[in-house]
Chains A and B, each alone.
Chain A
Amino acid sequence: MQVKLKTKGETLVVQMLGELDHHVAGTLRAEIDAKLSGDKVKNIVFNFHGVEFMDSSGLGMVLGRYKAASEKGGKVLACSLSPAVRRVFELAGLPSRIPVFGTEQEALDNV
Chain B
Amino acid sequence: MDNYMKLEIPAKSQNEAFARVAVALFAAQADPTMDEISDIKTAVSEAVTNAIIHGYENAPKTILVSAMLLENRLEITVVDYGVGIEDIEQARQPLYTSKPELERTGMGFTIMENFMDEFSVTSAPGQGTTVTMTKIFGGVKAEHA
Are A and B subunits of one complex? yes
Instruction: Please give the residue numbers on chain A whose beta carbons come within 8 Å of chain B beta carbons, in ascending order.
Output: 19, 21-23, 25, 29, 53, 55-57, 59-61, 63-64, 83-84, 87-88, 91-92
Chain B: which residue is nearest A57 at the CB level? B49
Given A21-B17, A84-B38, A88-B111, A55:B103 Cβ within 8 A: no
Query: Is B98 part of the contact surface with A, judged by Cβ < 8 Å?
Result: no
Judging by beta carbons under 8 Å apart, are B14 and A56 in contact? no
User: In the complex, what distance in Å separates the CA atom of A83 from the CA atom of B46?
Assistant: 18
Interface SS of chain A: helix, strand, loop or mixed? helix
Instruction: Please give the residue numbers on chain B whose beta carbons come within 8 Å of chain A beta carbons, in ascending order.
Output: 13-14, 16-17, 20, 35, 38, 41-42, 45-46, 49, 52-53, 102-105, 107-108, 110-111, 114
Judging by beta carbons under 8 Å apart, are B107 and A22 in contact? no
Judging by beta carbons under 8 Å apart, are B114 and A60 in contact? no
Judging by beta carbons under 8 Å apart, are A21 and B110 in contact? no
User: In the complex, what distance in Å separates the CA atom of A25 from the CA atom of B17?
Assistant: 13
Given A53-B41, A55-B42, A84-B38, A21:B16 Cβ within 8 A: yes
Judging by beta carbons under 8 Å apart, are A55 and B114 in contact? no
User: In the complex, what distance in Å separates the CA atom of A22 from the CA atom of B13?
Assistant: 7
Chain B contacts for A53, CB-based, 8 A? 20, 38, 41-42, 45
Judging by beta carbons under 8 Å apart, are B114 and A22 in contact? no
Chain B: which residue is nearest A29 at the CB level? B103
Cβ 8 A contact of A22, one of B38, B41, B52: B52
Closest 6 pairs between A and B when the two form their complex, measured CB to CB: A23-B13, A60-B103, A56-B107, A64-B103, A84-B38, A55-B45
Judging by beta carbons under 8 Å apart, are A56 and B13 in contact? no
Given A23-B17, A91-B110, A55:B49 Cβ within 8 A: yes
Chain B contacts for A19, CB-based, 8 A? 17
Judging by beta carbons under 8 Å apart, are B42 and A84 in contact? yes
